[in-house]
Structure 1
Amino acid sequence: MTFQKPSHTFTKIHLKALQTNSFNILFSLSFTVFINTLGFSQEIPKTQTPILPKTENDTMRVTIDVDSLLKPTVNLKETDSTLQDTLPKKKEFLTDVVNYKALGYVTLNQRLKQTTLYDEAEVNYQDMEIKAGIIVIDHNKNLVYAGRLKDSAGVYSQAPTFKQGANLVEPDSIIFNTETKKALIFNSRTEQSGGYIIADVTKKENDSVYFINRGKFTTSENKDDPEFYFLMRKAKIVPNKKVVTGLTNMYIYNVPTPIGLPFAFFPLTKKQTSGILFPTFGQDSRRGYNLQNGGYYFAISDYVDLAVYGDYYTNGSYGLRTESSYAVRYKFRGNFGFRYENLINEERGFPNYSKTSIYNLRWSHSQDSKANPSSRFSASVNLGSSKYYQESVNQINASNFLNNTLSSSVSYAKSFTGEPQVNLSVTATHSQNTRTQQIDMTLPTFQGSVSRIFPFAPKIGTKKGIIDNINFQYNVNAQNKINTTDSLFFTKEMFDDARVGVQQSIPISTNFKVFKHFSVSASTNFQENWTLNTIRKYYDDEENKILKQDLSGFDSFRTYNFSTSIGTTIYGMFNFEKKGQDATIKAIRHIMRPSISYNINPSFDEYYDSFDYITANGDLTRAEYSRFEESIYGSPNKNFSSSLGLNLGNNLEAKVRDRDSTKTEPKKIILLNNLNFSTSYNFAGDSLQWSPVRVSGGTQLFDNKMSVNFGMTLDPYALDNNNRRVDRFNVNNGGSPFRLTSASLNVSYSLSSDSFSGEKEVDQDAIDESVRSGGRADDLFGEPQNFANQRLGDEERDNEKEMDSEFYKFTIPWSLRLAYAVNYSNSSRQNEISSNSLMFSGDVDLSPRWTVGVSSGYDFKNQGFTYTQLRFERDLMSWKMNFSWIPFSQRASWNFFIGIKSGLLKDIKYDKQREPDQRL
């Protein structure tokens, strides 16, 4: 339906036919006119010659140009100057089509020139959309009025909504000028980039500027009664850009607070913007007052950003941290971080004064699988000072305090498709022990391989038999390995002990079946090793000791071996069903995978040298060594071995009756994922030919919520009085057939109230932060403690759970994670528990908005608690409050935070950190 200006219908012209009573007179006049129009006149014939006039010359004659009289007359049309209007034509009231509708009625008042739409009225004009209970259009004043409906009880309904472009305003009433596009909005509520603006009177200047009087700015989801807001006496709003105000102060539940400013600026944007990162305040007994995690955020582009943080302590300590994330869709994504801290303990002149510098570098890069299927680049780097996580005082590193290892890997892989396929990769690795400060690096490792080639396989059909399955491939591995320490890291001395080597191998194998049920495989492997690092040992008579000389230069050795194995799979079924009975356990299936292997490793004595030396007792003794023993791939095998290996794998499954009565098929559960036994017998050995029996197993219980893994080592030989193994079986020495030398048990269990209803939500950002630093993927060692950083928490987490009863909540949300580990040692009759500890972590929602959590553990051997963290969290709807406490250990501290959850106002907070006084 379209709308047209009513004034166009005020003047009406009516045309009617002319009438007369004298039909004959009218007919005669019409006939006469018709004849005169079509008639032609006749000329009179000439009777005599005409007399021509006499022409005389006149001296006073005037010359007339005949040609000018014969020229055709030019038709000139003169324009009346009074018809030309110099005033501009008045612009139409409406320049576009107006669509309108109403559920009640639509009326047009021609006298007042007004259109009224009643009940669920809607008007759409260009990019403007107004919905209200009643809408009145005044055509004289070019105004549109919109308001609510009021029933007989005085209750208002159908409040207006004014939308122009992407801006939506929900007022009580509105006046809009269709010509100037200005508007007056009363009691409006509008959302701007996650914040709500509630104003008594709002003046809309144009599409991009609003002026308000006594407005309220809040991020509360309760628009009708926000628990907090900033009262702005006068303000200017630029949608999706900014809010500039005059005198502003905070109200909490309509109670004014002294928190205010003479003027304020609130950024409004849905895009990344650069800005200041406000720090958190704290106190350290050894370093004084501090500011942590303050800095600046750089929104460089849509593909990369950069955040620079700084820490400062009043005793002179400082820290610097940079974090950057980058991503290109369908290509790659990653993040980069560098942390540096210059820490000063105590004051200069005191005995405990110390000054240390620690750093940490992290880089993670992953390539999208769709970017390039034949090549892939990835990186996972975590390196730096060995004591960084132990000495760092930044609370974000709390969960990585117990890290013992830092590791890194940067790799590039390329595949060349075809027959055969060639795979190449270059990798740089790093492994760092934070306790011993030992660092192992490979810069780089090159690996290449050619896929398996079947030279005797038929061109058509499947491969059958020992000949058809013969295959070989080529592998090459080259390394530049560096062993250094933390103090020599990134110095030229770290390359002094570098080891370089290349290892090439050609494995040849085949497989076939015998007696239908037995699979046989045979393989041999040829290796060639190149190295640039060898040694020479000799006895120095002057110094009376054995000396070692490092040699540099190319050298090589070659080895080979042979192995074969035969195995099968045996299935056993134990049925418990009886006719006429519905047993709970239907059947148990036992799967056994026995295998026997035989290995031959020749002796390569030609690569060994010897020298004579005199012992302290004066005896002449000969020592043997290999010049390759300190090379990157070690020395070749010296002792000939011919061994037989025995392996037995077990798997137990059960079929039980399903608790769901609607299901007819039984449910399959796993009793034992695996139970493995392995040992070997060396035919070439002169004693102790049997190796210990190794037992390992694991299973999942309680719907895969509990993981159990165990292992043990059983030695068949006895010990002498010096606790050394002797060539005598333990059973022949008056003992049991096997002697338990070691055992281990690991149990992990995760359970929560949501386990019975669904999956529990996890804080994935906090997990990623911990894993990138080399920590655990759970909170058994605690959680990162930078509460002000919204990356480490759910900004808009909804804690409102569905309650089964309005008066009583009989279920309390909770979660529990347990990890138990125990190790037993008895290799030398020590018969002791070498380690026995329990780690646990849990959270309990005491109320819909109170959460208590703890991460700790207990060492049963040393009888003490391990690293402990206590967490308290209070959800204050639009606000959140956190308190974290580490009661003991080197990182004993507490952290308190209260602030607004919304990322728009996250810098409005109170954050205090303090390390307890060491004297207490």
Structure 2
Amino acid sequence: MKFTRLLFLIVVSLLVNWFTAAGQGNVGGNKPVADTSRRGILITPNSPKGNDSLAILPINSVTGVGDTTKKSKSQLDAELKTLSDSTSYSDDMQTVYYHGNARISYGDFQLDADYIEVNKNTKTIFARGSIDPKTKRYVKRPISKQGSESPITTDSLTYNYETKKGFVWNPFSEQEGNYLSGGKAKKLNDTETALKDQMFSTCDKPDHPHFGIVITWGIVEKKRIISGPAYLKIEGIPIPIGIPFGFFPKMNSRTSGVILPTFGEDQRLGFFLRNFGYYLGLSDYADLTTMGTYFSNGSFEINSTLNYRDRYKYSGNLSLSYGAHNYGLQGDPAKKDFNITWSHSKNANSRPGTTFSASVNAGTSTFYQNNAATSNFNLQALTQNNFRSSIAYGKNWAGTPFNLTVSLSHSQDLTKKTVTMDLPTLNFSMATISPFDSKTRVNAQKWYQRITVGYNLSATNKVINVPESELFTQKTLTKRMQNGVQHQIPVGMNLNVLNYFQFNTSLNYLERWYFQTIRKRYARADSLVIDTVPGFQRVGEYSMGAGVSTKIYSLLQLNGRVKAIRHVMTPNISFSYRPDYSSLDHSYNRAIVSSATIPYPVVSQRYSIFERGIFGGPGGGRQAGLGFTLENNLEAKLRPKGSGTDTAERKIQLLQGLTFSTFYNFAADSFKLSPISFSGHTSLFKGKLAINFGGVLNPYSTQVRDTIANGQLIRYARAINRYSWQDGRFPMLVSFNVSTSISLNSSAFKKQQRPVPVGSTLQNMDPEQAARLSLINGDPAAYIDFNIPWNVNLSYNFNYSNQVVNTQVTNTLMVNGDLSITKNWKIQYNTNLDIRALKVSSATSFAIYRNLHCWSLSVQWLPFGFYKSYNVTLRVNANILQDLKLSKRSDYTANQFNNR
């Protein structure tokens, strides 16, 4: 049954464009040239004359070419220039023969060939190549060029410069990555040329194109090719997929066309045809791609992506996706999902002083799980817990310290299915200035000239943690909106003390404005009611601090390869003070007491009327304490090996940024010492292996207690206000994490890696090719590089969490890479292993790639789990990918230049 459905889908897809191939035959009645490299035809001067009704000439070829005999000015519009190794004439002097490296130039037209003859009687030009006596191959074919247009190579040609008609046999021409080759052509007039049995392809192999569309007959106009019956040919084999007529581009712009699908099978949804659609080239600045996927059980997906770009102004893309999937029994309602993504960036030079950017990702919380193929089963997309979006406009005034930013943001929790939105947020700031310093000062700064002042205003209006289903209801928009304004004025000063110490001090004032506050009351003894009270309220607070830091160096001299080890310590001690704003002396702090009603006791509660404010209220509890931070860096200096190219000393980083920090609050009544945090990072093997780690230590002892609730024994840990070292124990490790990653390939072990041509190469490319190459250089991980035999990326993550009675450990290894089996075959793999549970991710995938120069074949397979499926893709490569020998990954998604 499954095989029958698969066969049905394939037959339907073929019948959509099926047309019986017709008109295949030999090219003309002339004898082919004895050439093993190309299907050439060598015509003689006795071939059909220029006024023959079958006279043919290629696209944009010879126009207005005269002969070398004298003519009146009315006959020649420009000077005819000739060049050759030797020249001869006919007996009647009416025909001129140019032998060896012949060239004729007339106006902006140029013709090069091994042999050219000009016949005044018949008013024709004839050109051909020659057979190399050593290799017996046909060489030095005629090459014609008109102005700045691409040259055209032919086996031979005739041209009547009076009627402006002519023949060409087996032409090969290129226009912006599109190639016409084979067959013959006939020039009808200055703007139209007839074709017969020519192949249209994007493959740049003139001798044997790997694929193409054979045009049995057609007409070439200035901007397009209009064809009659045409059929597909792959590797020289005609394929029974044809069209009765067609239009092909012959212009430097994007052109619309059908996107052919891939096929495969999903274990839950059945057989499918994926990404069948249409590409619409709207203009030089925009295009629209619409694709859909259909499953045999009736499920479907549809996606429409608009890409737009003005090179010197802006670029971006907008994507809308919708899916309906039948995962249950027949007749059950389908699971419907949608997703919207928008990315926009503005060129900073288009309008100096202003910025605008957008990054939007919003939709139903189950979109990626139910539409996994949309992200090509990308693990990060499938396991993400949030959608985040932002749209921001910025303005700064040149010559002033002022800056303005207005933004909209969105955060969607996919687990809880709640949404938080900023509608909008406004920030106005003044960069730090030195009000007492002088621009004309020539002496060293005095202490008061080092005083700095800044300012920041932040105003926001937002909804927080609203269920998805209630987001745009009247209740949310009118009653759940929270707003406020916050002003911040930081004042600071930095001083250099005794040349070794950096002393800094700060004073920070914070003021908040609100347009509504809260009031709490008890409606009953067991019922607390919170009312919203409209009206303007303000509250201010201040804090101050001071700190001192220095650097301590120590050096250990050694013998051997390691010359010395240097340890740099950067201690920092800071003092901070903040008053207690939680006392009832302040009018914004209130207390309520419930009435005593059996069986409910009297309850007293203290609260701040600003506690639900968007910026919160003043801090509770007085703070006066010392902060301690110690940063460590360890590096070594190596002596040269003394052989080869290693003749200079080299520094290596052993440990970077090993930092310990904590805080001691003198004003607290207990637990004055905060947890001790530490972090650091290093790298090995010349930066190829990166290691990051961090953790938290609890300096206090803990006790384990048992309690019974609802008939169950519950064990919990309680902190004791006693340091662990007083009990002879080291501070308890509360949490620890370490992550490491390494990327290896065969090029990493070579002294010089193959550079991707960017600089001068871009100058010789059209804008589309330059944009593609820039995209490749910016994200090389999205492509399979057949020039690199093997590539592997390893990423390891370890997380430890200790809650005394419950310890959690995660131990994960992620592996992805590719391996070349042969020169043109590659295997790509991607998996995620939970080492502790010995479980492999359900999104594990394998793919096989076949590089076929101008097109590529890939088979992607997810062998097990929820997304078990396979997918077969056959696609034509972009020209730039042919040149670099790259292939687009089947497991990677990019927002720009897909399916063009």
Q: TM-score, normalised by structure 2?
A: 0.80
SS of match in other structure, 1:382: strand
Q: Is the 8 A contact 1:822 1:833 kept in 2?
A: no
- The 1:556/1:155 distance shift into structure 2, 3 A limit, reads closer
Match of 2:357 in 1: 378
- Equivalent residue for 1:744, pick from 715, 737, 759: 737
Match of 2:674 in 1: 691
Q: Is the 8 A contact 2:353 2:395 kept in 1?
A: yes
Residues 865-897 of structure 1: per-residue CA shift (max 9 Å, x gap): 123121111123333211111223432221112
Match of 1:273 in 2: 255
- Equivalent residue for 1:520, pick from 503, 507, 510: 503
- The 1:679/1:900 distance shift into structure 2, 3 A limit, reads closer
Match of 2:397 in 1: 416
- The 1:110/1:658 distance shift into structure 2, 3 A limit, reads farther
SS of match in other structure, 2:821: strand
SS of match in other structure, 2:611: coil
- Equivalent residue for 1:507, pick from 490, 499, 509: 490
Match of 1:437 in 2: 417
Match of 2:457 in 1: 476
Please state how far the C-alpha of 1:704 moved relative to its aligned partner: 1.6
SS of match in other structure, 2:493: strand
- Equivalent residue for 2:696, pick from 713, 727, 733: 713
Q: Is the 8 A contact 2:262 2:874 kept in 1?
A: no
Q: Is the 8 A contact 1:242 1:269 kept in 2?
A: no
SS of match in other structure, 1:369: coil
Q: State the distance in 1 between where 2:266 and 2:116 align.
A: 64
- The 1:714/1:199 distance shift into structure 2, 3 A limit, reads closer
Please state how far the C-alpha of 1:482 moved relative to its aligned partner: 0.8
Q: Which amino acid aligns with 1:824?
A: Y
SS of match in other structure, 1:305: strand
SS of match in other structure, 2:476: helix
Q: State the distance in 1 between where 2:467 and 2:753 align.
A: 45
Match of 1:145 in 2: 126
Q: Which amino acid aligns with 1:727?
A: N
Please state how far the C-alpha of 1:195 moved relative to its aligned partner: 4.0
1:560 matched to 2:542: yes
Residues 223-251 of structure 1: per-residue CA shift (max 9 Å, x gap): 223444555444434465115133x4444
Q: State the distance in 1 between where 2:648 and 2:329 align.
A: 75
Match of 1:602 in 2: 579
- Equivalent residue for 1:655, pick from 637, 657, 665: 637
Please state how far the C-alpha of 1:267 moved relative to its aligned partner: 4.0
Please state how far the C-alpha of 1:822 moved relative to its aligned partner: 1.0
- The 1:160/1:441 distance shift into structure 2, 3 A limit, reads same
Q: Which amino acid aligns with 1:893?
A: S
- The 1:635/1:861 distance shift into structure 2, 3 A limit, reads farther
1:298 matched to 2:280: yes
Q: Is the 8 A contact 2:266 2:868 kept in 1?
A: no
- The 1:474/1:241 distance shift into structure 2, 3 A limit, reads same
Match of 1:641 in 2: 623
Match of 2:31 in 1: none
Residues 404-458 of structure 1: per-residue CA shift (max 9 Å, x gap): 2211111111122345x22111111111121122222111111111233433324
Q: State the distance in 2 between where 1:558 and 1:249 align.
A: 78
Q: State the distance in 1 between where 2:196 and 2:813 align.
A: 62
SS of match in other structure, 2:849: strand
Q: State the distance in 1 between where 2:248 and 2:732 align.
A: 74
Who wins on radius of gyration, i.e. which is larger? 1
Q: State the distance in 1 between where 2:829 and 2:350 align.
A: 43
Match of 1:870 in 2: 846
- The 1:308/1:157 distance shift into structure 2, 3 A limit, reads closer
Q: Which amino acid aligns with 1:740?
A: L
- Equivalent residue for 2:817, pick from 842, 849, 872: 842
Match of 1:753 in 2: 746
Match of 1:41 in 2: none
Q: Which amino acid aligns with 1:127?
A: D
Match of 1:338 in 2: 320
Q: Which amino acid aligns with 2:408?
A: A
| Structure 1: runs of 5 or more not aligned | 9-89, 578-582, 784-792, 802-811, 907-911, 914-920
Q: Is the 8 A contact 1:752 1:760 kept in 2?
A: no
The share of aligned pairs that are identical, in percent, is 31
1:729 matched to 2:723: yes
Match of 1:125 in 2: 106
Please state how far the C-alpha of 1:520 moved relative to its aligned partner: 0.9
1:816 matched to 2:797: no
1:486 matched to 2:468: yes
Q: Is the 8 A contact 2:854 2:879 kept in 1?
A: no
Residues 35-55 of structure 1: per-residue CA shift (max 9 Å, x gap): xxxxxxxxxxxxxxxxxxxxx
Q: Which amino acid aligns with 2:279?
A: Y
Is 742-751 or 712-721 further displaced after alignment? 712-721
Residues 647-700 of structure 1: per-residue CA shift (max 9 Å, x gap): 111111222134674465311221122100111111112222111211110112
Q: What RMSD in Å do the two structures reach over aligned CA positions?
A: 3.4
Please state how far the C-alpha of 1:708 moved relative to its aligned partner: 0.7
Q: State the distance in 2 between where 1:473 and 1:510 align.
A: 12
Q: Which amino acid aligns with 1:119?
A: G
- The 1:735/1:183 distance shift into structure 2, 3 A limit, reads same
- The 1:109/1:381 distance shift into structure 2, 3 A limit, reads same
Q: How many corresponding residue pairs?
A: 778
- Equivalent residue for 2:437, pick from 435, 448, 457: 457
Match of 1:892 in 2: 868
- The 1:435/1:586 distance shift into structure 2, 3 A limit, reads same
| Structure 2: runs of 5 or more not aligned | 1-64, 706-716, 759-767, 883-889, 892-900
Q: Is the 8 A contact 2:182 2:197 kept in 1?
A: yes
Q: State the distance in 2 between where 1:409 and 1:565 align.
A: 37
1:861 matched to 2:836: yes
Please state how far the C-alpha of 1:282 moved relative to its aligned partner: 5.2
Q: State the distance in 1 between where 2:244 and 2:435 align.
A: 86
Match of 1:589 in 2: 566
- The 1:283/1:857 distance shift into structure 2, 3 A limit, reads closer
Q: State the distance in 2 between where 1:649 and 1:369 align.
A: 37
Please state how far the C-alpha of 1:291 moved relative to its aligned partner: 4.6
- The 1:562/1:253 distance shift into structure 2, 3 A limit, reads closer
SS of match in other structure, 1:654: strand
Q: Is the 8 A contact 1:854 1:871 kept in 2?
A: yes
Q: State the distance in 2 between where 1:851 and 1:616 align.
A: 78
- The 1:622/1:778 distance shift into structure 2, 3 A limit, reads farther
1:535 matched to 2:486: no
Q: Is the 8 A contact 2:218 2:225 kept in 1?
A: no
Please state how far the C-alpha of 1:615 moved relative to its aligned partner: 9.5
SS of match in other structure, 2:407: strand
Q: State the distance in 1 between where 2:697 and 2:268 align.
A: 53
Q: Which amino acid aligns with 1:537?
A: K
1:103-182 matched pairs, under 5 angstroms:
104-109=85-90, 111-150=92-131, 156-165=138-147, 166-182=149-165
Q: TM-score, normalised by structure 1?
A: 0.78
Q: State the distance in 2 between where 1:331 and 1:732 align.
A: 66
Q: Which amino acid aligns with 1:743?
A: F
Q: State the distance in 1 between where 2:91 and 2:779 align.
A: 75
Please state how far the C-alpha of 1:265 moved relative to its aligned partner: 4.8
Q: Is the 8 A contact 1:287 1:346 kept in 2?
A: no
SS of match in other structure, 1:633: coil
